[in-house]
Structure 1
């Protein structure tokens, strides 16, 4: 006898069908008809159906039929008076149905104004066979007590309402029981009571700060790529080049002729005044006598030469001043005539 079950050790969800297929043949591989092939276990004994066209024995067994949740050891026995009895062994593990608790919105966080009523709504999703679980017992606990969520409409949605919700953040532990065949993990629901005078949530403040920082960095990168990556001299040339496309000519900083000549005159006069400046003699005490020191640029032994050099510098300065005065007068007269 050959065991044609795809996997002699198989795991199924409680409520699924177990399909058993057995080949019972002689040593030459020919099908042995009219044999008695039976499934034997602690909780169930069933005969397999023979298919002469397919030359095999089959049985479809639902896991809810006397199979327990956990490990089930099944024995297949095949008998025919003219042949030896054959056996096959099958290990079937049946697990519970997975169910998840969730809110209708999909979020586990709820915000409510302090003092307002808050309604908690959850459902039980069958993740193995889809759909919602009804008829379950759903409870919740939090630091201020516990309670029950009810399914008034029998639609798989369980709810309850809390009056005058207090200020603060609270965690609700939601539990459910729908039978021994279901595995339901507890669910944590967070409800935040916000007072009217309370500021915005911290995550909103952080989001706003992040947005401002990102906008500032983006603006700086744009300005840097467009302007700041060029040296200052290049930026000035590029700015002036753009001005060449204007219809109006940019106004340069041009001063008048009279102002220019007066500026040159004052500059030259300042130089001449610096030459004529003489520091006063410095007196120092020597014993009981007071000795006057001569200027630094003079020599005591040559007073006449110093006087001549000073007179010459004064004469040259006066001549230069006269030339500049004449130049200014001529310029002013030409400007009036024009």
Structure 2
């Protein structure tokens, strides 16, 4: 008796192992030293019992896509009566669906990188200087290019500032003096 599964499934390009166990149904033991052959659409060959255990093996390399019938024959002597066994080899490509759409992640990463580069550049060029330094550099740049600058607020002279300060204090002092003088009477 030839013991092997009746159907083998594989993918295109796989190497398929044919493994046949020859059983003696009368004594219940394996049959050794037999000649086991196979035939299929892409050739024929012999299955070998390398370990002398009654298990015969052979390889079909790089099987193409399709459905094939493999015929296995065994022979030892006239004392054994073997039945020819046919195996169906089904080679199909497994369809894998597309994975999750991660294009949004790519767009977010690109946007984040562009934003970081923009912020870093803005900081290095302008934001690391205080506003007064930025303003003076902007005015200096406009002067160098010959463009008109906004008129600067009138800056009063030192004498005018002191005079205005004293005048505001004189009113306060005279007001305090009047209040103090009125309380004394």
**Matched residue of 1:124: which SS?**
strand
User: Looking at both structures, which has the greater relative contact order when contacts are Cα pairs under 8 Å and sequence separation is at least 6?
Assistant: 2
Q: Deviations over 1:210-242 (max 9, x none)?
A: xxxxxxxxxxxxxxxxxxxxxxxxxxxxxxxxx
- Taking the aligned partners of 2:53 and 2:83, their CA distance within structure 1 comes to 20
Indicate yes or no: 2:87 matched with 1:189: yes
Task: Could you list the structure 1 runs, at least 4 aligned residues long, displaced by more than 4 angstroms after superposition.
Answer: none
**Corresponding position of 1:166:** 64
Matched, 1:118 2:16: yes
Whole-angstrom CA distance in 2 between matches of 1:150 and 1:177 = 13
1:177: Cα distance to partner? 0.5
- Highest Rg: 1 or 2? 1
In structure 2, the residue matched to 1:30 is none
Q: Which residue of 1 aligns with 2:145?
A: none
**Which residue number in structure 1 is paired with residue 175 of structure 2?**
none
Q: Is the 8 A contact 1:118 1:163 kept in 2?
A: yes
Q: Which runs of 5+ in 2 are unaligned?
A: 98-185
Match of 1:128 in 2: 26
**Counterparts of 2:94 and 2:79, CA distance in 1:** 47
- For the residues of structure 1 that align with 2:54 and 2:65, how far apart are their CA atoms? 30
3-state DSSP of counterpart to 1:183 = coil
Residue 53 (structure 2) pairs with residue 155 (structure 1): yes
1:179 maps to 2:77: yes
TM-score normalised per structure 1? 0.28
Between the two proteins, the alignment pairs up a number of residues equal to 97
Gaps of 5+ in 1: 1-99, 200-338
Query: Where in structure 2 are the equivalents of 1:270-309 lying within 5 Å?
Result: none
CA RMSD of aligned residues (A): 1.6
1:1-338 correspondence to structure 2 within 5 Å: 100-103=1-4, 107-197=5-95
What's the secondary structure of 1:179's corresponding residue?
A: coil
Q: CA deviation at 1:196?
A: 3.2
1:148–1:198 distance in 2 versus 1, CA, 3 Å: farther
Quickly say closer, same or farther: Cα 1:192–1:130, change in 2 above 3 A. Answer: same
The equivalent residue for 1:210 is none
More strand by share: 1
